[in-house]
Structure formats: structure tokens, C-alpha cells
A and B are shown apart, each in its own frame.
Chain A
Amino acid sequence: MIRIENLSVAFDGPEVVKNVSLEIGDGEILGVVGESGCGKSVTALTLMGLSPRTARVTSGRILYDDVTLLEAGKPRDEALYRRYQGARMSMVFQEPMTSLNPTQRVGRQVEETLRLHTKLTSQERKEKVLETFRAVGLKGEEIVYRSYPHQLSGGMRQRVMIAMAVILHPGLLVADEPTTALDVTVQNQIISLLGEINKKQKNAMLFITHDLNLARRLCSRVAVMKDGRIVETGETEQIFEHPVQEYTRQLIQAVPSRLKERKREKGPRENGRGYAAPVVKVQDLSVYYQEGSNSLFGRKKRRCVVKGADFELYAGESLGLVGESGCGKTTLSRAVLGMIRDIDGSVVHNTLRPQMIFQDPYGSLNPAKTVGWLLQEPLRARGAIDASLALSKEEMEEAAYDMLRRVGLEACYFHRRPSQLSGGQRQRISIAQALITNPGFIVADEPVSALDVTVQAQIMELLRNFQQEMKLACLFISHDINVVYKMCDRIMVMKDGRIIESGDTQEIFASPREEYTRQLLIGS
């Protein structure tokens, strides 16, 4: 039984967690949902005794079965926590790629928990690790034991993390976005595994996520957090069916879900597809990478990453490209844009300068420039290539201001720099940048994946409006099948470099032909 009473945590500035009270009974899974920055991770880290030294507990206390682990005003008892961490409480983190020490074999890392908390011999420890590996569904446990983290897939690493966390049957298991970094199908397996472990070990589980669908599937109770406070808590179904708070309602509505029918004006098929020429026509496209070899005389190998892609894209249409990471989605889109030259087959488009919207709004805008400068850059580039399209300084500025307004930002943002904007605002700038030259064809590579759900909904709305207004053809890449459902008229499913299924969104969702597509759909 875990009790968090009136917990408030502050870093240097104002409190980021305010009067949070939570209770998790044994065998219960409590979901904490909220958008990034709402304080859910800080709460979890404080509970685990892993919050950075700069964090101060300003009020409240944390109880573990009547033992006070932490109390405001007293320094954290590191020795006490060290006895609990790993043995009675443990945590699974979001990033399985970086959460394991890259220079140690994973077996040894898991075994360290036993070494710290038990008196088992090394033989017994190894056996126990192998047994736990089997229990979390790691096949070939002997090989896994000897592997380094980079030799395992993301899903396997997360299983290793889970094995490390549950090996001593801790009374409390904290999972902080444990599946966010994983592909949909793997996500599913991990979620079921966590559910199973909870049933078997009867531990209290704190499941932190921004994904309401996941919380709904796994948790018996849910607490909704906003700006450091718990705004609503209750039984999961109660919260989802009858949310009391306005914020909870917004959050639930923002989740792209297939259950809600989308409103759609006339599809592009009705406005004359088949008569008009496609904006983009891709025929039997194969894309290759040069696989580098380090040796002095070694031949570079030519590896086929995309095999025989065939599709057409019409004005005003948006075509979804879905598949797991590494399946060749991005490679295909880069080849379509002409950024990869080593291809077979043909790509024809009737627009001159297709544009791209990227996933990471933080990395894709030059931090040294102002928003105004960034918006004018495509115009300048166009003017430099084709003098007849060159605009005067005033015209460019006017176009930039106009675009800023159209993506829903005020004129005062013109002089700001990207670092002064939120993720959603940055993505609006990325969109404005892509559309300012009126390109006719854009590629959007996971444009909303890095955003919170409510922001995600706004950005998708914005994109759809632009698409209808400008008759844009859009190749929309995403791993999130719900987003694709909301955005796209047609879908292509990609696996291992091949397009294995394509068709109308509604049809594919209603009756997928391929087993793989079905898995993807179940996974979401």
C-alpha cells in the first residue's frame, strides 16, 4: 500500500507538483495521465527517491506500508531509500535505448539488483536472472544474458528493464511511459506483460502515460494531472464515460480515435480523380543505400531499402504511409522528394518544389534565427533559383506576416526565436514554412508525434484546413494509426521496405487483408 499525501515539489522556481495525494493498493494499477510538463514524472521520481538534488519537497509525505519514506522539511534518507530501491520498489523508464548501461552485458546489469539486495551465490543469482528473463518473455535467455544492450531490439531491452524491475517482486512498480518509444505491435506486448506481472506479483503499480487509450486498457483507476495538480481521479470507466472536469473532457476528446466518426467533405475521389493528372506518380520505385564498409579496399554494398513502391497522389488528397520504425517510410518519402538519388523506377511530380514538415519541431528550426527570417527563407531560396519568382523585401515580409496569421499565431511572434516557442507553436512555424511557397505537394513526416494530445488535435485540424484550402497533395507518414485514420483519405501499409497493402482508409480499417495490418490496428 503506497500513500502520497499532499506532496508538493519545487525546483528553483514555483512548485511543479502541488498538493498531490494518491493511494495505490496492492495489486492495483493506478494510471496518472496528463500532458508533458504536468508534473507526472516528477511525482514518480520523487516517489522513487530519484528526483534530482535540486528538487525540494515543500509539503507532504510519502508512506510505504506505514513506513515514512519521505517527509517535507527532512532531507531524503538515502540509506533507507537504497534498501527500498530495487528490492521493494522499482521503476521502468521510457527510453529502453538509453536506460541500460551500454558498456555492460545486460545479464550483469539485472544481476546487480540481486547482488545489492540478496545474499545469493553467483550461481543462484544467474539462475534467478535467467528464470526472470523467461518469465518476461525473453526467448534465448542464455544469449540475452551475455548480450550488450545495443545487440537487443527496443522491445527486448524494455523486457530486460522490466525483468530488472520485477526480479525481487517489489511491492511497488512504477512505469513511466514504458511503451512510448516502442513500435505499436511491441507496445501491445509490453502492456500485456505489465498487466500479467501485476496479476501474478500483486504489486501496486503506478502507470504514467500521456496516452489515454493505454491508460484505459491497463488501469483500474486513473488520476488526471494538469499543471502539477490532480484535477480528477476515479475508476477508469467512470472517468472516460462521465468526466466531471472540463480539462478531462478536452483530453479525452483530443484523442484521435476510430470510434468517433470523422466528418469529411467530398472525398478527392469524387472531385474527379481519374480525370485529373496525379500530382505525384511513383512507379516501381526501389531505393538503395550504400552500406559503408570501413576497410580500405572493401566494396560498398548497395542495400535495397524500399522495394517496388507504386502509387499516385492527387491534388487535395492525403495519403497515409504507416509502418513500424525502420520499415522504410522515411526513406521512401526522401526518395519521392528527390533527396536520395540512388533509385530504380520513376518518380514524376508536376509541382516544382515539394516541401516537407518534420517530426521534431525542436531540432528542425534553426535556433539562431527569428521566426520572420525562417518564414522568408523558402521564398528567398525560391527567388535565388528562379529569378522570375523573386520577391522584394517588403513583399516577403508581408507574405511571412500573412502566413503567420494563417497558422494562428499573432504578429508579435515575427521577431521571436524558436527557443521562445512551445512545441505546438514551433510545429505551426514548420507548417507555415512548408506552405508559404504554395507548393502543391508536401510530405509530412510524423508531424504530430512529438506533441501532446490536445496540441496534436489542433495541429491536425490546421493541416486539414490548409489541405482543403490549398488543394494540397499530402504524403502523411506516421506510426500512429489513429492519427492516420483522422488525417488520411487513403492508406499504404509498409513492412520491410514493401508496401503490403493500400486502399481507402475506411476499407482498410473495416477489413484489413494482411495479418500485419490487423496487428497494427489491434495495437492502437
Chain B
Amino acid sequence: MAYLGKKLITLIMTLFLVSAAAFLAFQIIPGDVVTSILGTEATPEREEQLREELGFNDPPVMRYLHWVGGLLRGDLGTSYRYSKNMNERMPVSELIGDKLPVTLWLAALSTVLIIVISLPLGVLWAKSRSHAVDAALGVVTQTAMAVPSFFLGILVTYCFGVVLKLFTPGKYVSYRQSFSGFLGYLIFPALSIAIPKIAMTARFLRNSMLTELGADYVRTACGKGCSQRRVMYGHVLRNALMPVVTFLGMIISEIVAGSIVIEQVFGLPGIGRLLISSISNRDFPVVEILILYITSAVILVYFLVDILYRVIDPRISEK
């Protein structure tokens, strides 16, 4: 419990620092938002009016406090760029709320794929005594790791979309329309994200298991009369998972932040693309919220990793 409290305080402090940094950064970055919204042809009166409307005439500290106050009340602000209708600007919450599920589902699917495929693959690889299997897996994983993700996306589109016709490339189905259709489409970008990570994780697990196999306690287990299977699953796997969990944490936090390239290749309306367009449009309210989202997502993933550590290795919780 004390541990949870500590983590929560860390989370809040990190978010506070990041929010301040994000806010500050966009005060410093050159380029005038007003000009960017209205274009160079606008009259000075109109510019001044917009400035007043967006609160740019207040001192920065006031604006920061105002912004944070809004956040705490659940008001994420409004986009500079997108409008709901003629006289109302789009609230950031609505803008993100529309795209966040896409990214989160994509991340969830990729994560499941990575874990479900890489762990058994890694164990099998470590167990295999055949030189051919070992060499083949080595080459395959090496290749999968080396292929750039956009190209992998194109390959997946070609194989599953064009040749096997399992989905229609470019024809994204919104989750509002049909959830099963949405997942059916999402599985392929998820696969593109997962393939290189699966290769890395399997490799990592295999090396970790081979290292553990040399440990003294493995000899003890063999000395008791344990079969190879029992040694592998009963003793080695759990110990070998420790470094893999760290690695998975790194991978997953990266995925949760949105994969810009894959979203682009598959035409997915996710966080990654929104982030890019908001940055180039100087749509700072959106960017700031996205930064906060990514930060909290990463922290949350590491928090889960930390808990997993404690579950796997009893030595950690006592330090």
C-alpha cells in the first residue's frame, strides 16, 4: 500500500513537471499561432480579437494555471485548428477521444500478439538442440528485426490484403460502424508492429534462458532427477523472464505512444497521425494533451512492469 502511494506521488510529480515543460516549450517555439490560423491576409483588428479570445494577452503563468485548472476539472481545452461548427472550436477531449481508441486497440492487439507468439517461440528456441532449427530461427529473427516498419507494413498489406484478400487495404472500418470489422482490419497493422518486436523478444528470451541454464540451481534441479521439461518450465523460465519483462515494458510503452509510420501506411486515424498534424499546425492545446497522455501511458506501463517484477522475483519487494 505504501508502495502504491509512493508510485502515485511519483506519477503526479512527473506529470506536473512534464506539463510545465510542455507549456513552457510552446511559449518559446517561434511562429505565431494567430497568423497560422488566420493567414497573413487578416486585419490587425481580427488578429487582436482572436488573441484576446485565445487568452494570449494574459501573462504566461496565469495561462498555465488556467490550463492546469481546466485539466483538473476535466476540461482539456479546445483545438486552435479544428472546429466543431462555424462558431465553436473543437474540444481537445472530443478530438482525442475519437482517435485514442484506435491507438489503444492497436497497441493492445500488438501486445497480445507479441506476448503470445514470442514467449513460446523463445522457449522452443532455447530447448531446440538441433543446429538447423537454431540457425534458421537466427536468420529469420535477424531479418524480421532489420526490415524497416513502413516496408513491413507494405509487405503485410500486399500479402494479406492483395494476395490473400483477407482485408481491403486502405478501407479502414471505424469502431463506431462495426467493432468486429474494426478489429479485423486492425489485426494487420498490429501484425506489422508486432513482427520485429516478436523477433527481438524471442531472441532475448532464448538468450536469457540459455544463460539461466548454466546457473547452479539448474544443476541442483537436475540432481533431484527433474526431467528437461520440468527444469525448463519449473525452474528456468520464471528466472529467465526477468530481463524479458523489462524489455517488453520498453517495447509496449513505445507502442502505446502511437506508431506514426504504421498508422500512415494503413490509413488509421490514430494518435500518431494527430500528433504530427498538430505539431505542424501549431495546434498546441492538442499537442500538450498528447504529450501528457504519452507520458502517463509510459509511466503506467513501467508501473505494471514493476509490479510484474515483484510477482516474478520475491527478492525485489524486500529491497
Interface residues of A (CB under 8 A from B): 48, 50, 81-87, 90-91, 93, 95, 98-104, 109, 112-113, 116-117, 148, 150-151, 161, 164, 294-296
Contacts and interface: CB of A to CB of B under 8 A. Distances in A.
Given A99-B220, A101-B235, A161-B220, A84 B313 contact: no
Contacts of B222: 50, 85
Nearest to B10: A296
Interface of B: 6, 9-10, 13, 215-217, 219-227, 234-235, 238-239, 312-315, 318-319
Contacts of B312: 103
Contacts, number: 76
A86 B225 contact: yes
Contact of A90 (B223, B226, B239, B318): B223
A99 B220 CA distance: 6
B225 A99 contact: no
Contacts of B239: 101-103
B232 to A, nearest CB: 13
Given A102-B313, A150-B315, A296-B6, A48 B223 contact: yes
B223 A103 contact: no
B224 A86 contact: yes
B314 A148 contact: yes
Given A103-B313, A148-B315, A98 B225 contact: no
Given A83-B225, A85-B224, A296-B6, A103 B314 contact: yes
B2 to A, nearest CB: 8
8 contacts: A50-B219, A50-B223, A81-B225, A98-B217, A99-B216, A99-B219, A101-B221, A112-B221
Contact of A100 (B9, B10, B220): B220
B11 to A, nearest CB: 11
Contacts of B314: 102-103, 148, 150
A113 B217 contact: no
Contacts of B221: 101, 112
A102 B236 CA distance: 10
B9 A164 contact: no
Given A102-B314, A294-B319, 20 more contacts: A82-B225, A83-B225, A85-B222, A86-B225, A90-B224, A93-B216, A98-B215, A98-B216, A99-B216, A99-B217, A100-B217, A101-B221, A102-B313, A102-B315, A103-B314, A117-B225, A151-B318, A164-B224, A296-B6, A296-B13
B10 A87 contact: no
B226 A112 contact: yes
B226 A95 contact: no
Contacts of B235: 101, 104
Contacts of B9: 296
A116 B315 CA distance: 27
Contacts of B313: 102-103
B216, B220, B226 pick with most chain A CB within 10 angstroms: B220
Contacts of A102: 217, 239, 313-315
Given A99-B217, A102-B313, A86 B223 contact: yes
A295 to B, nearest CB: 6
B315 to A, nearest CB: 5
A95 B216 contact: yes
Contacts of A85: 222-225
Given A113-B224, A148-B315, A101 B217 contact: yes
Given A98-B217, A103-B239, A103-B314, A82 B223 contact: no
Nearest to B219: A50
Contacts of A113: 224-225
Contacts of A294: 319
A103 B225 CA distance: 19
Nearest to B238: A103
Contacts of A150: 314-315, 318
A116 B229 CA distance: 13
Nearest to B220: A99
A40 to B, nearest CB: 16
A53 to B, nearest CB: 9
Contacts of B13: 296
A99 to B, nearest CB: 5
B243 to A, nearest CB: 13
Contacts of A296: 6, 9-10, 13
Contacts of B226: 82, 112, 116
A150 B318 CA distance: 10
Q: 9 shortest A-B CB distances, which residue pairs?
A: A86-B225, A85-B225, A86-B224, A98-B216, A101-B217, A99-B216, A148-B314, A82-B225, A113-B224
Contacts of B227: 82
Contacts of A50: 219, 222-223
A296 B11 CA distance: 12
A56 B244 CA distance: 34
A220 to B, nearest CB: 25
Contacts of A95: 216
A91 B220 CA distance: 8
Contacts of B10: 296
B223 A295 contact: no
A84 B225 CA distance: 7
A84 B224 CA distance: 9
A417 B239 CA distance: 35
Contacts of A101: 217, 220-221, 235, 239
A148 B239 CA distance: 14
Contacts of A83: 225
A84 B315 CA distance: 33
A205 to B, nearest CB: 15
A101 B212 CA distance: 11
Contacts of A295: 6
A16 to B, nearest CB: 18
A91 B219 CA distance: 10
A463 B135 CA distance: 53
A112 B224 contact: yes
A293 to B, nearest CB: 10
A102 B235 CA distance: 9
Nearest to A45: B219
B223 A116 contact: no
A504 to B, nearest CB: 42
Contacts of B217: 98-102
A62 B318 CA distance: 46
Contacts of A99: 216-217, 219-220
A47 to B, nearest CB: 11
A91 B217 CA distance: 12
B9, B216, B238 pick with most chain A CB within 10 angstroms: B216
A214 B9 CA distance: 56
A382 to B, nearest CB: 40
A98 B221 CA distance: 12
A451 to B, nearest CB: 22
A423 to B, nearest CB: 21
A87 B226 CA distance: 11
A11 to B, nearest CB: 15
Contacts of A93: 216, 219-220
A83 B318 CA distance: 38
A522 B210 CA distance: 43
A50 B318 CA distance: 34
A145 to B, nearest CB: 14
B227 to A, nearest CB: 6
A252 to B, nearest CB: 31
Nearest to A294: B319
A99 B214 CA distance: 11
Nearest to A90: B223
A149 to B, nearest CB: 9
